[in-house]
Amino acid sequence: MLLDLTRAQEFALDPQQLRELVMTFEQSLAQEMAVIQTALAQHEALKVEHSLHALKGFMALFTGEDLAQRVTALYQSSRSQPLDTTGAEFNSLVPTLSALLTEVRAWLGPL
């Protein structure tokens, strides 16, 4: 299980607010993954870096420590390594991020 709402629950005042937080996370995760994949294809390093920064920002609220640290490390290294290296590292994370997105959508249930 990749989804961990422990920290998100600390911010949410009630179950409805938690659901709203998770809905925002679902939208952001899907959007940033798409932006990164497009930016990698178009060799736009700055867009990749900005989207990784956004991912890093909310991962700690919704995932366990390991995945949050992996995304943080990728963001930090993206600022100083070749885009091809960042792309390879991101692509190795895509199956995990996709599994996380599936878990988030399952948690949300039918909308």
Q: What pLDDT sits at residue 110?
A: 75
| 19-47 per-position pLDDT tens digit | 999 999 999 999 999 999 999 999 999 99
The total number of structural domains that make up the chain: 1
Q: Is residue 4 part of a domain?
A: no
Q: Is 24 helix (H, G, I), strand (E, B) or coil?
A: helix
Q: Is residue 18 part of a domain?
A: no
Domain ranges, residue 67: 27-108
Residue 50: both structure tokens together: 């900005």
User: What number of residues does the chain have?
Assistant: 111
Q: Is residue 12 part of a domain?
A: no
DSSP class of residue 81 equals S
Q: CA-to-CA distance for 82 and 54, rounded, in angstroms? A: 20
> Residues 58, 66: contact at Cβ < 8 Å?
no
Q: Is residue 103 part of a domain?
A: yes
Residue 66: both structure tokens together: 């390991």
Rounded to the nearest angstrom, the gap between the alpha carbon of residue 21 and the centroid of all alpha carbons in its chain is 14
Q: Is residue 79 part of a domain?
A: yes
Q: Is residue 20 part of a domain?
A: no
Q: What pLDDT sits at residue 111?
A: 58
| 33-90 per-position pLDDT tens digit | 999 999 999 999 999 999 999 999 999 999 999 999 999 999 999 999 999 999 999 9
